[in-house]
Structure formats: C-alpha cells, structure tokens
Amino acid sequence: MWLVVLLLASVGVSMIGGAQSSPPALRVTLRAARIIDGTGHALGRSDVVVENGRIIALRLAAGPLPQGAIDLGHRTLLPGLIDTHVHLGWYITAGGRLHQEGDGDAPAVSAFAQAGNAWATLQAGFTTVQSIGEPDNDLLRDAIKRGVFPGPRVLTSLGSLNERTRGGSPDSLRAAVRSFHARGADVIKIFASKSIRDGGEATMTDAQLAAACGEARALGLRAVVHAHSAESAQRAARNGCTQVEHGVFADDATRQAFVTHGTFFDPQCGLVFRNYLDHKPWFEGIGNYNAAGFAAMEQALPLAEAGIGRAARTPGLKLVFGTDAVAGAHGRNAEELVCRVRRGGQAPMDALVSATSRAAESLGLGLEIGRIAPGYQADLIAVDGDPVQDIAATQRVSFVMRGGVIHRHDPPRFPSATRTPR
Ligand SMILES: [Zn+2]
C-alpha cells in the first residue's frame, strides 16, 4: 500500500476537477528498454528522470531501479507525438451524421464531443495538436490548460480566412488577421486553394497571401495555408507563409520552393481520405461530400502516397506530420504514421522525427516539446515494440505522460516477458 501512495504522491495521476493544472512537484524515474529521443537517435535501456513536469536527466540504465521508479519493461519510450493538423470540433452525431451548425445538437452535446475527441487523441499518445478551423476551439484549449479535463496541449486558429474574407482586399485581410490575433489565436489558417473535392486550384493571389501571411508574421503568429495545386502552394511559399497543408498536386518545383523559402510542408498520406471513403453515410450529401467529391478523394490516394515519398526524399524539405483528423479519425492519428512508412516510403525514424522534434519546431515550440532531453516538458509515451522496426508499434500506446502527469498506464500485456533483468 505504501508504494501506491508513494507513486501517487510523486508523479500525480490524471484527475478531474482542475487537480493537474500545475505539474507534480516531486521526482520520478522512468525506465524503458529503448528510448527514441525525437531527433533521430535511439538508445538502449535507459532512465528518464522527471521533476516538476520537466525532464531533468536522460541516462543509460545502471544498477537497480530507484525506489518509486516506474519500470516500463520492454516498451519503447518516445516524446509525446504531435499532430499539426486536426479538427477537434468535428464529430458524428447520435443520428450518425457529421455534426453541422443548426442540426439540433445542444451546445453541451458538442462540448462533450470535443472533450471526447481531445481525450481520445491524448490516449493515443498525441500530447500536442494544432486544431485549425473551428471558431470555438479556444474554449477547449483553455479548459484543458486549466485541468478541467485531460487532453493534449491545443493550439488553434479560431477560424480561417480565404480570398473573400471581408471583401478580400489586402487591407481587409490584414484586419482579419489582427482580429484573430486579438481573440487569442495561436496561428492563422488560410485557404489558398479549393478543396480537393472541387479540384484544388488556386483561389488567393500573391498580393492576398503576402498581406495575410505578412501581417501574421508582423504579429508574431505563424500562418498555415491550405493549398492543393502546385501554383497555390508555391504562392504560399514565396509570400512568406509558415506552412503548407495538403499539397496533393505539389510537383518538383513546388517542393523546391518549400526548400528555398524554408516552408514547412504537411501533406497527408491516407487517414483523412480513408476515413471519408470508409464512412460515406456520415458525410454524403453535405456540401461537397458527393459522388464527384468522393471520386476525387479516391483518385487522390495514390498521388498522396507517392507525394509523401517524394517529399521525404527532397533534401532540405521540412516535412512535418499532420493528419487532418476529422470526425471519426480522432485517436487514430498514428494510422497516418503507418501509411507514411508502409505506403509512402518515408523512413520510420524520419516519420517519428516529423511527428516530434520537427513538428515542435513548426509550432514554434522546438525548445519546449518534441524531444527527450533535459529541460524539455515531460511529454512522454511508451509503446509496445520498437517503432523503428515496426511503425505500427505507434498504434500500441500503453503509457502517456503530459507535463509530468500520467494519463495512461496500462499493465503489461505479457507479464512474463516484461520483467526487467536486474
Ligand atoms: Zn483540415
């Protein structure tokens, strides 16, 4: 019994009611068979020491486990995963349809759904997400931050702008960016091309993108741009936008533009398309979710998979990880890592870097999260197996710590195989 009390006291356990808003004060050591540090390095059996919600030491395991330490046995410990493109506000209603404004769901129903999406995402090992699009994600972000309920760290755009926003003049786009900033947006989301279901061609001019991305930069905000066609993606890159999303039709010239301008690139491999195609009845008949739209996504699949490989093989291209997880895909984010490696041909370690340290850098959090190193936030997950040998191990998350607070700790699946040799 005393051991349980000691563990609870020393690490803090996920609790409701605001109990985990400040990090636990005492020190805890985690020992795992393998460490992947988030920057491309793997270590053998090691100890990670956490204090006040931060990592204070990483060292090869030596001698017996310190008292009160957590032995993760044969598991691999890695930084909490980061998804730079999700939509936590999207959910499927009790009636089996994509939630829409005015469908009769009470605000509390939508709020619980968002909280559930956040929880599922955290349980799947994603400790930070960028949720870009929904206007009320600040309520979710702030509730999680206050410890009202558990979820990943959320960054959000609180909406988006496009070529028609406030009439679309450069001055009015700048004003729109300022108003997002004033409302507390962490990032600006811009639509610079049509949807993939409508062909994906460019919708914003150079002047419009220069105004919107320039104003964001002047305010210290990043600008993330939805762009499918080569032209729209190149416009985003040459006008100083921070990151391009999707880019299904990106060609060599586009990838080169990303390298030249240091633009982060976040293409999707398959989860978002397969989620739509596998669950047509949830979406069919809403907006451009029609026969032509589904056909466009079906056709995009091989292009998207090939595009991952081409991006991964382009020297100097800052390829980051984002799933575009919508309703039905929350908590399945790691499927996209599996797609990237098995279907896109990205090297497993590079895929892991893109979802940890490189994703953190893209969010402007490169010194806070995304690495297992002293000084970093104690965002740590353990998976069963070695994800470098088998990327699907990232779908077998059994331990989740965020900021030093444990949110998941499954018992070993095969107890006899997990005893740590002393
Ligand atoms: Zn999206």
pLDDT one-digit tens code per residue, 132-156: 988 999 999 999 999 999 999 999 9
Return the residue matching tokens 């595009």.
Answer: 307
Q: Ligand 1 centre and the CA of 326: distance in Å? A: 7
Q: Within 267-347, where are the H helices?
A: 271-278, 280-283, 291-312, 334-342
Specify the pLDDT at position 417. 47
Q: Is the pLDDT of residue 64 over 60?
A: yes
Q: Ligand 1 centre and the CA of 17: distance in Å? A: 31
Helices vs. strands in the chain: H and E counts, helices first: 13, 18
Could you report how far apart the first and last alpha carbons of the chain are, in Å?
Answer: 23
Q: Residue 200: helix, strand or coil by DSSP?
A: coil
Q: Residue 170: helix, strand or coil by DSSP?
A: helix
CA dist 123 and 354 (Å) reads 20
Q: Ligand 1 centre and the CA of 234: distance in Å? A: 19
Token pair for 248: 């299904």
Q: Ligand 1 centre and the CA of 194: distance in Å? A: 12
Q: Ligand 1 centre and the CA of 270: distance in Å? A: 13
Specify the pLDDT at position 418. 45
pLDDT higher at 395 or 17: 395
Model confidence pLDDT, tens digit, residues 377-398: 999 999 999 999 999 999 999 9
Model confidence pLDDT, tens digit, residues 105-134: 999 999 999 999 999 999 999 999 999 988
What does the pLDDT average to over 198-214?
Answer: 97
Q: Ligand 1 centre and the CA of 189: distance in Å? A: 10
Q: Ligand 1 centre and the CA of 376: distance in Å? A: 29
User: Which whole-number Å values give the CA distances from 168 to 141, 163, 187, in the listed order?
Assistant: 29, 5, 19
Token pair for 89: 């506000």
417, with CB counted inside 10 A (0-12, 13-18, 19+), is exposed
Q: Is the pLDDT of residue 16 over 90?
A: no
Q: What is the mean pLDDT of the chain?
A: 92
CA dist 80 and 402 (Å) reads 7
Model confidence pLDDT, tens digit, residues 298-350: 999 999 999 999 999 999 999 999 999 999 999 999 999 999 999 999 999 99
Contact between 272 and 296 under an 8 Å Cβ cutoff? The reply is no
Q: Ligand 1 centre and the CA of 296: distance in Å? A: 16
Q: Ligand 1 centre and the CA of 65: distance in Å? A: 44
Q: Biggest alpha carbon distance in the chain? A: 69
Q: How many CB atoms lie within 10 A of CB 140?
A: 23
Q: Is the pLDDT of residue 415 over 90?
A: no
Model confidence pLDDT, tens digit, residues 168-191: 999 999 999 999 999 999 999 999
Specify the pLDDT at position 134. 87
Q: Ligand 1 centre and the CA of 48: distance in Å? A: 35
User: Which whole-number Å values give the CA distances from 382 to 62, 102, 133, 385, in the listed order?
Assistant: 20, 41, 30, 9
Q: Ligand 1 centre and the CA of 87: distance in Å? A: 6
Q: Any idea what the Cα angle at residue 364 is, between residues 362 and 366, rounded to 5°?
A: 85
Token pair for 154: 């959320």
